[in-house]
Each structure stands twice: as structure tokens, then as C-alpha cells.
């Protein structure tokens, strides 16, 4: 089975995926009444980390055709092999971590039990609760306190949606967000104000854009400053200054960086040596790692300067459709 | 009466009490718009729908689907332009209409907002730009064709543009650093001139001429600033504070219309439209709420008003030899075109259902103002009435006696029989002619001998023709061998007096027929006929209320049979067609920018 994201993106460029990460520092209430309601159900919790004990700095990498998510020493200049692996997982796409170090991976559950989000305790720990997604193709998760967001790549019909889960309220989504301009959902990220940002294709043009949901609530608003006129969107992420980083897959792949309130032209641009769908900032935010799906490598750049630093390839195969990347 | 049939808006309105007044949704939502006639209309666009309300009352009229709608604008004719991102075009919709009457291509751009030049009809479109490429301003000459593109190196993202009353275009946006930029594209200049304001605009919003000053909305300050521009300097000479406006600062359009500032979103949420007093400001005086889809993904960011507006006329209109005048019930205006080219050259406002028309020898145009209970005279190419004669009924049309210059007007009555009023030399007090046998009358027409005819119905709907012979003092029936299924106008074609049948039955169905007739001792005898074919969908849906036969001279002076019939087809909204005369058949050409609901027409020839 191939990567569903790949199939859609193939027209633009050969693609293997990855995943964006947001690590907000404060919890917020679950999305409010402006979110379309879903029927909640209880989840069973099994050893999920909720403490903030010191943890090794790791970079997780997912490959769509692999059955585990590999973790590397974060500053892996020596191209060392993965230090551990989380799994098993089935068809993983984008991945994210929360502030406790728990790993969230958009997956298809094994045995064709549907799609959703698989979770794992920090540092390749044991599996945690799962979150179900019954309608679309889960692409990328983001966590904001006890709220979990999941963008679908495709719902099978327009517009595509972001599902909203209450981590404490079971495996079913409690709401969903959408916008009539959303074509395909690629990435989600949350800034320090708990505003959700969603990278999508524009349903009419097919080009990239970012939609903002203030406080994670409807209605969404397209950030016109993020309109792209070519290429295909990738993920989104924030730095500690709340700058919005928008990954764009194009003939000249790049990360466009927008300063708050995200209505001005890009403050800067990082040119990537090869296309990636997702990138993630190191914990100290001095490096940004992008998962190069063409070459099967994690490419490290200085942040915010954007200078290319190094790559590592150990255990990553371009044929396995590398896609998600996140740090712990 | 068929000729008076009109499409009625389906609007239902539920009002909600409160301060400010809140206008709530109707029981029916989601229906497509029915053409709304008359008066000003408020257009509100959401990404996928356009919502229409009366203005200033705010009554819901209807809604229709659009695609990727941005900030609309309207022109001096009340036509509305809606920029669409995705289709990358600008659709033009006639005032009160639903279907686009034109589409302007803007491929590869992000059309964000627009403004119509009141002096030329040119349309400027602010193209926002992309993260990887700055935007520009596209100007479509006469709102048609391929645009000329203009860019200002100081502006990266273009937000709004607005023309002043002289045709200078003002634009705002932001530069590479996100700082506001305000610039002018002078009327005769091909390059932008950046304008330094004496105070900083925090978040540039709408740009619009308020009649005295160019204004800039500052979305962050929640204010509208009035700017006096001198060269490259702009001085804010006044500010209107919009209290309670909780803007999202993402480019919602504000719109000034008379003494009202209309803004979305209002103080409460994105699904509302608020009216603020302008220039006084303060709190909103009215809120429209509960519309705009009522769904979770409503954007509700744009507002525009298609104005009933004022009369205007191009300075060149008087010099145009042939002018076409078209009465429009949808807008209560008469639109004026260059007959030869079809280009709009003016609009006459101030009517209440303008109807039939006639011209005198000099080319002055008389227009029946049906609900206004008057006939109004305009000089060829003039924008101000020369004379207004009050009628004793609802005037449907008129004719000028070629011999005397008398003006005859056919009137409907509020009750009882209609009548014909005749003003000697088109002035003074009229003589009144009525006859129970001539119960309902259509537009009358003089022949070259000064005999006046009108098609009529009896009280019980028998159709025929009535006459006031030259020099006579009474209105009476006259026999004719014409079979009239549905009466229409009478007109001199330069050779014959013509009768018309709005609903003639032919092998192709219902069409409009024109019968050429001669006055004989026994009445009107038909000597020829002209069939007008090919409506909007089928051959048989042609209904011209009072076909106008165009000759080389104005009707009363015309002594050579005309060669063209011009007429609005009331079965097909927004269509106005031309047929060869007297050959008839399929129409030979159409007026491109026809009004929505045209009911009368004339061609004035300057003498």
C-alpha cells in the first residue's frame, strides 16, 4: 500500500511525508461551542506520560511504509542509527509530541481497523490511547494542552476537516473545524495563544494557504499573506516567538516565515536543499530539521538563519516514504 | 396586465427588537435571489454566497452562490462587481440581478477588492499578491477586456482601492516589512505616487471617496479617516470612530453610503453587518444578523452598496448623434447608451418605475414615470429634467404630434378607465380623453397626419384600437383588420403607423409582431407585418412591450421607414435586442450591458 499523501502529491513532486510539532506550554479548555460537536466516548489510559521528568532529546522520524517510528539523537551529525523505535504502527503519516514527550502519530491501525492517531509514551515508550478517525485520511496531528487536533488529507469530499479530540474524553472526536476554502489538509500547529493554524491547499486553486482558527474555534480565516502561487503546501509550525513557519514543496522548496499577526509578506525564507512536507525545530530552536523525502534524509539547518548544516540518513529509506518528523 | 408583470422578491423578514435594531433572518433562507427592483441594495459577500438586502432598511431580498468571493464594489449604474479568488476573475452583476452579465479575467492574481471610476466607468482591481510575489492593480477600461497592470514598488500586498470624483485612484496596502502604504495613481499618470500621511494608519482597510475626502479605514483603530491629499502629502482632517467594531483585521471591507458606514463584522461576531452613522460615528444604529449562511464557516467580510444613485451623463453624450434610452424597473433608472456602439454614457435617476418613451423632433426624450405619475422631458444627452408634467393616472407611454408638437400620454387609472392626456405644445395643462371602450391603454402613437392611435382593452379584455383623429375632441374605437392577442405600443415608422402585438401567435409560438397599417375610410388596414423572433431560450419567448422603430430622423420628423427595431424583451431579464426592420426575424444584435428589467426605450437623434 502506498502513501495516500504521496498519491495526491505525486503530480507536484514525488513525496514522502513527515510531521509538524507544536509544544504549547499551557493547557486550554477543550474547543467550545463553535466547534461542530461529535459524540464523545471514553478512552482507556495506559501509562501515558503526564509528568515533566527530564528526557533525552530525540528526533522522531516516521516512514509511511515502515511499521515503527524511529527516534534519533537530536543532534545527529554523526549519522548514527536510531536509538529506539515506537510501534508498531501502520501507515504512519505526520507525527507530533506534547509537552510531556508523548508521541502522536497519524496512522492507519493494523488489521484494517480504520484510521486515527496512535500514541506512545516518551522515549519510545509503550503504546497509549488511540483516537479514531473514521471518515478521511489522517495526515498530521498537533497537541495543545489536553486538546488534540488532527488534519485529514482528504475526507473524500470537500471541504476537508480538522478533527478535535479531548485527550481526556475518549477516542472519538468531540468536534471538527473546517473552512470552505480548504482543499487538502497538510499540517496543523498551535501558537502560544492557542490559535490553531492549518495548512491546506486552496480548494479552488490547488495552491497552498494557511487558515487560522482563533482559540481553535470556528470560523476559520484564510491568512491571505500565506497564499502561494505555485507548488504544494507542507506542514506548519511555530517558533518560540510565535513566528509561523510554512513549509512549501515546490521546484524551489522553502520554508516561509511569517511574523505575527501573519498579514505581512514573509519576514524571511529558508531555502531547502530538497523538498520536505514537514519540518520541526530542535528543542533549543537553534536548528530546524526537515525530512527530505527524495533522498531519505533528515536535513538540519541553522535557525533562524537557514544555513544548511548537515544531514543524516541512517535507517531512513526514500523508498519507504519518509514523512513525519517531531522532536522530544 | 402582462406588460406590468414583474418579478417579485421573495424576501421575508423577521425583525428583532433591541438597541441597535437587529434585523433577523427570514423564515426562508437559501433561495436564489429574485431580481429586486428599485432603490438601493446592500450586497454582502461570504466566500461562497452573496446576500442582498434593501438599503437602508436592511430587508432581506435574496442570496445566490458565488465562488471565492472577496470584496465587492459597485459602479455608477448600480452594477456590482465581485472579485473571486480561485476562479481569478471579477463577475459583474446588474443591480438586483443574479446572473453575471460580464466576467473579467484576472488569471494568476488574487483579486481582493475593486473600485469603479465614476468619470470613465473603468474598473480598478487590487490584486493582493502572493507570499512569493507582490500584487498589483489591474485597471479594466470601461470594465471590459484585458486590464492594464500597475504596481508600486513600495507595496507588496494590495488591500483596497478607491477612486475619487475626478478619477484619481487611491490604494492602500503594506510593504515588505508589513508597514502600511498609501498611494495615488493620478488620473492622467501612469505611475503610483506614494503619499505620506501626517498620522500613521495602523492597519489599512477600505479606501473610498466620501464625496469630499478620500477615506481610509483603519481596522486596528476601528476608525475611518478622512484624508486631504496634496501632492505626496496626506492630512487626516477628520476621523469617524466606529464604537464596538470588533474587527478581525483581516481586510473586512467597510462601505460608505450617504450618511452610513456599513461594516462587517460588527461588534459581536463575523456573521453580522452593522450600520454606523457617518461621519458622526459612535455606536451602530442597526445590525443585520443571522444571515450569511448560518453555518460554521461563514466569513461575512465584505459589504457593498449598489446605489440608486444620482443621474450622470458623460460630457461627450450630447455630441453623440444617436442615443439609446432604456427604462429599467429593476433600478428605477433610465440607462443611456451610445446607440451605435452600445457603450453606456449615462444614467437618469429619480423615477418610480420608468416606462414607455417617445422623442420629439429635436431629440428631446419624454419618459413616462409610471408610479411617479408624470412624464419627464430630457434634452438629448442631458442629465437634468427639462420639464416634468404631472399625469392624472399611471402613464404607460407617449407620443409627439409631428404637426403641432403636442404631447399625448396614455394613462392607466387606479380604478375605472384609463385615459389619454394631451398637452398642447407639450406644456401647460392637458386635455383629457377617455372612453369606457378604451378601458386599458398602451403606449399611443401619432401618424404623420396627427391622428393618434392606441391599442386598448375593454373592461372585459376585448382587444382593439382607439383613435383621436387629428383635430377631434374625443377618443373612440376604430376598426382594424389586425388581430391583436396582447396589445402593445403604437408608433410611426416613417411610412406607416404600426400596431404591435406582444403575444402574437406564430408557427414558432408567442412572439412580438409589428403590423404596418394605413388609415382608410373604414379604419386601419394592415399592409405588412414584422415578426420579432428568438428570445433567451426559445423562438417564442419574445415580448417587446413597445417596439421602437429607429429611423434616420426622430419619430415626429421621420418620413422614411425605419430600418431597425430596438426593444427590451421582458421575458428575458437583462436582454435588449435589435431586429432588422421591416424584415424582422431573428434579432440581429444585442445590447451587451442591458438593464435587468427594461420596459421602455427610445432612440434620440441630435438635430
B562: CB partners within 8 A, 6+ apart: B493, B494, B549, B550, B551, B552, B581
Q: Is A320 helix (H, G, I), strand (E, B) or coil?
A: helix
Report DSSP state, residue B404: T
In a domain, B328, yes or no: yes
Q: Name every residue whose Cβ is closer than 8 Å to that of residue B273 and which is 6 or more positions away in sequence.
A: B42, B44, B58, B262, B263, B264, B265, B266, B287, B288, B289, B300, B303
B296: nearest CB among A34, A205, A221: A34
Q: How many CA atoms lie within 13 A of B170 on its CB side?
A: 30
pLDDT recorded at residue A196: 98
Q: What confidence score (pLDDT) does residue B54 get?
A: 80
Of the candidates B516, B514, B537, the one whose C-alpha atom is nearest the C-alpha of residue B526 is B516
User: Which residues are B69's β-sheet partners?
Assistant: B84
Check whether A147 has a pLDDT greater than 90. Answer: yes
pLDDT tens, B564-586?
Answer: 999 988 877 778 999 999 999 88
B579 neighbors B565 (Cβ within 8 angstroms): yes
Residue B533 has pLDDT above 50, yes or no: yes
Q: Is the pLDDT of residue B338 over 80?
A: yes
Angle at A35 between CA A31 and CA A39, to 5 degrees: 90
Q: Which of B40-44, B154-158, B486-490 has the lowest mean pLDDT?
A: B40-44
Question: Does pLDDT of B99 surpass 90?
Answer: no
Where do we find the cell 431573428? B586
Average pLDDT over residues B482-500: 95
- DSSP class per residue in B84-133: ETTTTEEEEE-TT--SEEEEEE-TTS-EEEEEE-TTT--EEEEEEEETTE
Residue A312 has pLDDT above 70, yes or no: yes
Which of A49-53, B100-104, B564-568, B577-581 comes out lowest in average pLDDT?
A49-53
Residues B279 and B415 in one domain: no
Peptide bond into B282 cis (omega under 30): no
- Band (pLDDT 50/70/90 cuts) for residue B126 is very high
Mark whether B465 and B520 lie in a shared domain: yes
pLDDT at A37: 37
Q: Nearest-5° angle of CA B441, CA B445, CA B451?
A: 110
Is B2 inside any structural domain? no
Residues B572 and B530 in one domain: yes
Measured CA distances, B334 to A210, B327, B329 (Å)? 46, 4, 9
pLDDT over 70, % of chain B: 86
Cis amide prior to B56 (ω within 30 degrees): yes
Mean pLDDT score, B27-35: 38
| Domain CATH code at residue B400 | 2.130.10.10
- Banded model confidence at residue A53, pLDDT cuts 50, 70, 90: low
- Residue A269: pLDDT band (50, 70, 90) is very high
Helix, strand, coil shares of chain B, percent, nearest 5, are 5, 50, 50
pLDDT digits (tens, 9 = 90+) for B181-240: 999 999 877 899 999 999 998 889 999 998 889 999 998 888 999 999 999 999 999 999
Residue A92 has pLDDT above 80, yes or no: yes
The DSSP letter of residue B436 is G
pLDDT band at B543 (very low <50, low <70, confident <90, very high): confident
Question: How far apart are alpha carbons B83 and B137 in whole angstroms?
Answer: 13
Q: Is the peptide bond before A268 cis (omega within 30 degrees of 0)?
A: no
Answer whether A286's CB lies under 8 Å from A255's CB: no
Please tell me the distance from the alpha carbon of residue B491 to that of residue B177, in angstroms, as a whole number: 67
**Percentage of chain A surpassing pLDDT 90?**
70
Report the number of secondary-structure helices (H) and strands (E) in chain B: 0, 54
| Residue whose C-alpha cell is 489599512 | B204
Q: What one-character DSSP code corresponds to residue B329?
A: T
Assigned C-alpha cell, B117: 471610476
Please give the DSSP secondary-structure letter assigned to residue B540: T
| pLDDT digits 0-9 by tens, B399-419 | 999 999 999 999 999 888 999
3-state SS class at A167:
coil
Average of per-residue pLDDT across A160-179: 93
Q: What gap in Å lies between CA B376 and CA B385, rounded to an integer?
A: 6
CB–CB of A36 and B296 under 8 A? yes
The answer, yes or no, to whether residue A118 has pLDDT greater than 70, is yes
Q: CB-hemisphere CA count at 13 Å for A185? A: 38
pLDDT tens digits for range B420-446? 999 999 999 999 999 999 999 999 999
Indicate if B368 and B289 belong to the same structural domain: no
The reply to whether B3 falls in a domain is no
Domain identity same for B321 and B443: yes
Nine-digit cell at B11? 424576501
As a whole number, the mean pLDDT across chain A is: 84
Q: Please tell me whether residues B212 and B332 are part of one structural domain.
A: no
The shortest C-alpha distance from B133 to chain A (Å) reads 8
Task: Using CA coordinates, name the residue in chain B closest to A219.
Answer: B297
Residue B322 sits in the same domain as residue B281: no
- Residues in chain B within 8 Å Cβ distance of A159: 297
Interchain contact, A204 vs B48, CB within 8 Å: no
Q: Which domain holds residue B485?
A: 312-605
B332: confidence class by pLDDT, cuts 50, 70, 90: confident
* B295-311 average pLDDT score: 54
Q: Are B74 and B81 in contact (CB under 8 A)?
A: yes
> Does position B389 have pLDDT exceeding 50, yes or no?
yes
**B576: which 3 cell numbers?**
435588449
Q: Label residue A1 by pLDDT band (50, 70, 90).
A: very low
Average pLDDT estimate for B81-102? 88
Q: A225, B131: Cβ pair inside 8 Å?
A: yes
CA–CA gap between residue B16 and residue B421 (Å, rounded): 47
Shortest alpha-carbon distance between residue B114 and chain A (Å): 17
More confident residue, A7 or B234: B234
Averaged pLDDT, B489-506: 93
Work out the mean pLDDT of chain B and round it to a whole number: 86
pLDDT at residue B35, as a whole number: 42
Query: Is B9 a residue whose pLDDT tops 50?
Result: no
**Domain finish residue from B274, B304, B334:** B304
Please give the tally of structural domains in chain B: 2
Number of helical (H) and strand (E) elements in chain A, helices listed first: 1, 25
Residues B289 and B430 in one domain: no
For range B298-311, the mean pLDDT? 57
Q: Is residue B555 part of a domain?
A: yes
Q: How confident is the model at residue B315 (pLDDT cuts 50, 70, 90)?
A: confident
- B322 and B288 in a single domain? The answer is no
The ipTM value here is: 0.81
Show which of B259, B276, B304 is a domain's final residue: B304
Neighbours of A77 (CB within 10 A): 11
Strands B312-313 and A297-302: unpaired
> B229-269: per-residue pLDDT in tens?
999 999 999 999 998 877 665 667 888 887 888 876 554 45
Task: Give the Cα separation of B253 and B56 in Å (integer).
Answer: 17
Cα within 13 Å of Cα(A240), Cβ side: 10
**Judgement on whether residues B287 and B344 belong to the same structural domain of the protein:** no
Query: Does residue B64 sit within a domain?
Result: yes
Q: Do the Cβ atoms of A227 and B129 come within 8 Å?
A: yes
Decide which of B304, B323, B349 is a domain's last residue.
Answer: B304
The answer to whether B223 touches B194, Cβ cutoff 8 Å, is no
Q: Is the dihedral of CA A270, A271, A277, A280 positive or negative?
A: negative
CA-to-CA separations, A288 to A31, A278, A283, A310, in angstroms, rounded: 30, 10, 9, 11
Q: What's the first-to-final CA gap in chain A, in angstroms?
A: 29
C-alpha cell at B118: 465614476
**Cα-based angle A8, A14, A17 (whole degrees, multiple of 5):** 75
User: Across the interface, do B131 and A34 touch by the CB < 8 Å criterion?
Assistant: no
What local confidence, expressed as pLDDT, does residue B209 receive? Answer: 92
CB burial of B455-476 (b: ≥16 within 10 Å; e: otherwise) equals bbbbeeeebbbbbbbeeeeebe
Q: Output the pLDDT for position A50.
A: 60
Is the per-residue pLDDT at B163 higher than 80? yes
Q: A229: which strand partners?
A: none
**Residue B266 falls inside a structural domain:** yes
Nearest-by-CA chain A residue for B111? A224
* Whether the Cβ atoms of residue B582 and residue B530 lie closer than 8 Å to each other: yes
Whether A229 and B108 lie within 8 Å, measured CB to CB: yes
Contact between chains at A220 and B297 (C-beta distance less than 8 A): yes
Q: What is the CATH number of the domain that holds B209?
A: 2.120.10.30
| Exposure string over B209-221, b if 16+ CB within 10 A, otherwise e | bbeebbbbbbbeb
The stretch A12-19 carries a mean pLDDT of 32
Average pLDDT over residues B19-35: 44
Strands (E), A192-250: 196-202, 208-213, 221-223, 232-238, 244-249
In this prediction, residue B305 has a pLDDT band, given cuts at 50, 70 and 90, of: low
Greater confidence (A246 vs B205) lies with A246
Q: How far apart are CA B141 and CA A33, in angstroms?
A: 48
- Answer whether residue B109 shows pLDDT above 50: yes
User: What per-residue confidence (pLDDT) applies to A110?
Assistant: 59
Strand partners, B14: B24
Question: What is the band of B288 on the pLDDT scale with cuts at 50, 70, 90?
Answer: confident
Same domain, B328 and B281: no
**A112: which DSSP letter?**
G
Helix (H, G, I), strand (E, B) or coil at B563: coil
Least confident interval from B57-66, B87-96, B142-151: B57-66
Pick among A199, A207, A219 to test the B interface (most B CBs inside 10 A): A219
Say which of B110, B174, B297 has its CB closest to residue A179: B297
Residues of A in contact with B297 (CB under 8 A): 159, 178-180, 218-220
What average pLDDT does range B346-369 have in this prediction? 94
- Give B204's contacts in chain A (Cβ within 8 Å): none
| pLDDT band (50, 70, 90) for residue B330 | confident
* Nearest residue on chain B to A201, alpha-carbon basis: B86
Strand partners, B575: none
The whole-number pLDDT of residue B57 equals 79
Q: Name the phi and psi angles at A49, rounded to 5.
A: -70, 135
Judge whether B358 lies within some domain: yes
From CA A298, how far away is CA A276, in angstroms rounded? Answer: 9
Residues A235-244, mean pLDDT to the nearest whole number: 98
Q: Is the pLDDT of residue B492 over 70?
A: yes
| Residue with the larger pLDDT of the pair B511 and B169 | B169
Whether B368 shows a pLDDT value over 90: the answer reads: yes
Residue B508 and residue B577 in one domain: yes
Average pLDDT over every residue of A236-263: 96
Task: State how far residue B176 is from chain A, nearest Cα, in angstroms.
Answer: 6
**Cross-strand partners of B103:** B91
How close B132 gets to chain A, by Cα (Å)? 7
Residue B86: pLDDT above 50?
yes
Question: pLDDT > 70: what percent of chain A?
Answer: 82
Amino acid at each position: 500500500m502506498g502513501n495516500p499523501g504521496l498519491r495526491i502529491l505525486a503530480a507536484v513532486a514525488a513525496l514522502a511525508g513527515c510531521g509538524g510539532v507544536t509544544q504549547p506550554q499551557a493547557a486550554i479548555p477543550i474547543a467550545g461551542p463553535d466547534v461542530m460537536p461529535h459524540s464523545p466516548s471514553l478512552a482507556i489510559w495506559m501509562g501515558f506520560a503526564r509528568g515533566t521528568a527530564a528526557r533525552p532529546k530525540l528526533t522522531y522520524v516516521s516512514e509511511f511504509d515502515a511499521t515503527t517510528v524511529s527516534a534519533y539523537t537530536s543532534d545527529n551529525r554523526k549519522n548514527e542509527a536510531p536509538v529506539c523505535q515506537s510501534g508498531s504502527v501502520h501507515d504512519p503519516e505526520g507525527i507530533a509530541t506534547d509537552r510531556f514527550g508523548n508521541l502522536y502519530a497519524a496512522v492507519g491501525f493494523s488489521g484494517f481497523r480504520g484510521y486515527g492517531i496512535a500514541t506512545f509514551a516518551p522515549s519510545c515508550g509503550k503504546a497509549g490511547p488511540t483516537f479514531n478517525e473514521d471518515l478521511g485520511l489522517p495526515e498530521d496531528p498537533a497537541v495543545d494542552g489536553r486538546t488534540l487536533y488532527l488534519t485529514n488529507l482528504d475526507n473524500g469530499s470537500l471541504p476537508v476537516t480538522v478533527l478535535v479530540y479531548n485527550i481526556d474524553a475518549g477516542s472519538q472526536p468531540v468536534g471538527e473545524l473546517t473552512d470552505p476554502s480548504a482543499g487538502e489538509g497538510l499540517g496543523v500547529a498551535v501558537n502560544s495563544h492557542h490559535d490553531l493554524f492549518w495548512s491546506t491547499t486552496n480548494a479552488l486553486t490547488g495552491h497552498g494557504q494557511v487558515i487560522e482558527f482563533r482559540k481553535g474555534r470556528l470560523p476559520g480565516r484564510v491568512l491571505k499573506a500565506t497564499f502561494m502561487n505555485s507548488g504544494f503546501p507542507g506542514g506548519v509550525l511555530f517558533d518560540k516567538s510565535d513566528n509561523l513557519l510554512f513549509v512549501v514543496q515546490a521546484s524551489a522548496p522553502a520554508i516561509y516565515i511569517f511574523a505575527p499577526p501573519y498579514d505581512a509578506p514573509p519576514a524571511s525564507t529558508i531555502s531547502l536543499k530538497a523538498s520536505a512536507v514537514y519540518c520541526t525545530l530542535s528543542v533549543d530552536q537553534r536548528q530546524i530539521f526537515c525530512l527530505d523525502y527524495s533522498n531519505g534524509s533528515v536535513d538540519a539547518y541553522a535557525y533562524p538563519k537557514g544555513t544548511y548544516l548537515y544531514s543524516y540518513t541512517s535507517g531512513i529509506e526514500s523508498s519507504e516514504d519518509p514523512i513525519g518528523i517531531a522532536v522530544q | 396586465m402582462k406588460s406590468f408583470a414583474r418579478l417579485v422578491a421573495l424576501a421575508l423578514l423577521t425583525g428583532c427588537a433591541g438597541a441597535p435594531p437587529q434585523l433577523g433572518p427570514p423564515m426562508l433562507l437559501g433561495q436564489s435571489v429574485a431580481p429586486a427592483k428599485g432603490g438601493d441594495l446592500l450586497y454582502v459577500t461570504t466566500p461562497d454566497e452573496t446576500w442582498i438586502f434593501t438599503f437602508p432598511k436592511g430587508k432581506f431580498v435574496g442570496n445566490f452562490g458565488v465562488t471565492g468571493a472577496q470584496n465587492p464594489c459597485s459602479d455608477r449604474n448600480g452594477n456590482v462587481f465581485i472579485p473571486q479568488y480561485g476562479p481569478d476573475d471579477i463577475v459583474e452583476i446588474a443591480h438586483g440581478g443574479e446572473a453575471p452579465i460580464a466576467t473579467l479575467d484576472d488569471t494568476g492574481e488574487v483579486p481582493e477588492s475593486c473600485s469603479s471610476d465614476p468619470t470613465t466607468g473603468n474598473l480598478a482591481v487590487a490584486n493582493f499578491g502572493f507570499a512569493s510575489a507582490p500584487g498589483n492593480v489591474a485597471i479594466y477600461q470601461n470594465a471590459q477586456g484585458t486590464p492594464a497592470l500597475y504596481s508600486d514598488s513600495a507595496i507588496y500586498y494590495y488591500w483596497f482601492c478607491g477612486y475619487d470624483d475626478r478619477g484619481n485612484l487611491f490604494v492602500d496596502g503594506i510593504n515588505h516589512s508589513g508597514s502600511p502604504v498609501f498611494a495615488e495613481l493620478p488620473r492622467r499618470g501612469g505611475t503610483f505616487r506614494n503619499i505620506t500621511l501626517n498620522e500613521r494608519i495602523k492597519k489599512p482597510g477600505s479606501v473610498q471617496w466620501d464625496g469630499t475626502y478620500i477615506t481610509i479605514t483603519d481596522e486596528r483603530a476601528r476608525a475611518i479617516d478622512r484624508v486631504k491629499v496634496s501632492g505626496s502629502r496626506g492630512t487626516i482632517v477628520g476621523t469617524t470612530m466606529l464604537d464596538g467594531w470588533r474587527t478581525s483585521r483581516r481586510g473586512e471591507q467597510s462601505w460608505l453610503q450617504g450618511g452610513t458606514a456599513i461594516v462587517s463584522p460588527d461588534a459581536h461576531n463575523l456573521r453580522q453587518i452593522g450600520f454606523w452613522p457617518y461621519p458622526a460615528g459612535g455606536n451602530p444604529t442597526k445590525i443585520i444578523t443571522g444571515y450569511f449562511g448560518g453555518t460554521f464557516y461563514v466569513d461575512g467580510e465584505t459589504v457593498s452598496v449598489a446605489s440608486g444613485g444620482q443621474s450622470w451623463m458623460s460630457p461627450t453624450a450630447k455630441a453623440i448623434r444617436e442615443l439609446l434610452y432604456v427604462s429599467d424597473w429593476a433600478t428605477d433608472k433610465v440607462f443611456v447608451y451610445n446607440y451605435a456602439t452600445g457603450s453606456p454614457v449615462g444614467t437618469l435617476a429619480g423615477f418610480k418605475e420608468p416606462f414607455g418613451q417617445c422623442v420629439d423632433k429635436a431629440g428631446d426624450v419624454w419618459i413616462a414615470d409610471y408610479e411617479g405619475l408624470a412624464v419627464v422631458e430630457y434634452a438629448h444627452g442631458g442629465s437634468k429634467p427639462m420639464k416634468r408634467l404631472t399625469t392624472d393616472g399611471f402613464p404607460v407611454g407617449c407620443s409627439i404630434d409631428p404637426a403641432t408638437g403636442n404631447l399625448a400620454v396614455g394613462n392607466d387609472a387606479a380604478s375605472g378607465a384609463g385615459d389619454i392626456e394631451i398637452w398642447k405644445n407639450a406644456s401647460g395643462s392637458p386635455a383629457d380623453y377617455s372612453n369606457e371602450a378604451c378601458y386599458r391603454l398602451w403606449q399611443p402613437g401619432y401618424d404623420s397626419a396627427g391622428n393618434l392611435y392606441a391599442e386598448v382593452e375593454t373592461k372585459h379584455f376585448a382587444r382593439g384600437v382607439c383613435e383621436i383623429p387629428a383635430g377631434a375632441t374625443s377618443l373612440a374605437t376604430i376598426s382594424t383588420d389586425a388581430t391583436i392577442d396582447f396589445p402593445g405600443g403604437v408608433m410611426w415608422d416613417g411610412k406607416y403607423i404600426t400596431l404591435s402585438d406582444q403575444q402574437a401567435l406564430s408557427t414558432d409560438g408567442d412572439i412580438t409582431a409589428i403590423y404596418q397599417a394605413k388609415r382608410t375610410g373604414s379604419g386601419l388596414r394592415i399592409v405588412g407585418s414584422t415578426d420579432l423572433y428568438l428570445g433567451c431560450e426559445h423562438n417564442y419567448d419574445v415580448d417587446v412591450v413597445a417596439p421602437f422603430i429607429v429611423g434616420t430622423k426622430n419619430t415626429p420628423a421621420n418620413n422614411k421607414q425605419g430600418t431597425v427595431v430596438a426593444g427590451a424583451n421582458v421575458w428575458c431579464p437583462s436582454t435588449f435586442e435589435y431586429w432588422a426592420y421591416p424584415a424582422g426575424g431573428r434579432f440581429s444584435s444585442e445590447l451587451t450591458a442591458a438593464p435587468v428589467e427594461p420596459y421602455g426605450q427610445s432612440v434620440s437623434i441630435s438635430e
